[in-house]
Amino acid sequence: MSDAEQPSESETHDHHEHHDHEGPGYATPQAAIEEAERERTAYVMGLHVGQDVDAPDFLAVVDVDPDSDTYSEIINRVQMPNKGDELHHFGWNACSSSCHMEGLERRHLVIPGQRSSRIHIVDTKERRDPELTKVIEPEAVYDHDLSAPHTVHCIPDGEILISMLGDADGDLPGGFLELNDDFEVQGRWDPPGEIEMNYDYWYQPRQNVMLSTEWAAPKTYYPGFDLDDVEDGKYGQRLNFWDWEAGTVEQTIDLGEDGLIPLEARFLHTPESTHGYVGAALSSNIIHFHESDGEYHAEPVIEFDDREHEGWDMPVPALVTDILISMDDRYLFGSNWLHGEVWMYDISDPSNPRKADSISIGGYFGDIEQVQGRDIVAGPQMLQLSLDGDRLYWTTSLFSSWDNQFFPEEAEQGSVMLKADVDPRTGTMSLDRDFLVDFGDLPEGPARAHEIRWPDGDCTSDVWQ
Contact 342, 334 (CB under 8 A): yes
The residue type found at 451 is E
What is this structure's pTM?
A: 0.95
Burial 399-419, CB ≥16 within 10 A → b, else e: bbbbbbebbeebbebbbbbbb
- What is the rounded CA–CA span in Å between residue 317 and residue 338? 7
- What is the rounded CA–CA span in Å between residue 107 and residue 92? 7
Residue 136: alpha-carbon gap to chain centroid: 21
- What is the rounded CA–CA span in Å between residue 253 and residue 382? 26
Q: Smallest Cα–Cα separation from 448: which of 42, 41, 49, 43?
A: 49
Look at phi and psi of residue 337 and say left if phi exceeds 0, alpha if psi is from -120 to 50, else beta. Answer: alpha
**DSSP characters for 385-396?**
E-TTSSEEEEE-
Contact 111, 7 (CB under 8 A): no
The residue type found at 250 is E
Which pLDDT score, from 0 to 100, does residue 21 have? 65
Which pLDDT score, from 0 to 100, does residue 4 have? 42
- Sorted by sequence, the CB contacts under 8 Å of residue 314 that are 6+ apart come out as none
**Residue 20 banded pLDDT, cuts 50, 70, 90:** low
In the DSSP assignment, the letter for residue 442 is: -
- What is the rounded CA–CA span in Å between residue 383 and residue 418? 10
- The 10s digit of each residue's pLDDT in 169-182 is 999 999 999 999 99
- The 10s digit of each residue's pLDDT in 364-406 is 999 999 999 999 999 999 999 999 999 999 999 999 999 999 9
Query: Could you give the C-alpha distances from 118 to 102, 174, 205, 231, 242, in angstroms and in order?
Result: 30, 16, 28, 32, 27
Q: Mean pLDDT in the chain?
A: 94
Q: Residue 189 CB: number of other CB atoms within 10 A?
A: 20
- The 10s digit of each residue's pLDDT in 322-336 is 999 999 999 999 999
Candidate from 93-102, 121-130, 242-251 with smallest mean pLDDT: 93-102
Which pLDDT score, from 0 to 100, does residue 3 have? 47
Q: Count Cβ atoms within 10 A of the Cβ of residue 128 and give its class: 0-12 exposed, 13-18 middle, 19 or more buried.
A: middle
Domains and CATH numbers, the chain: 27-451 (2.130.10.10)
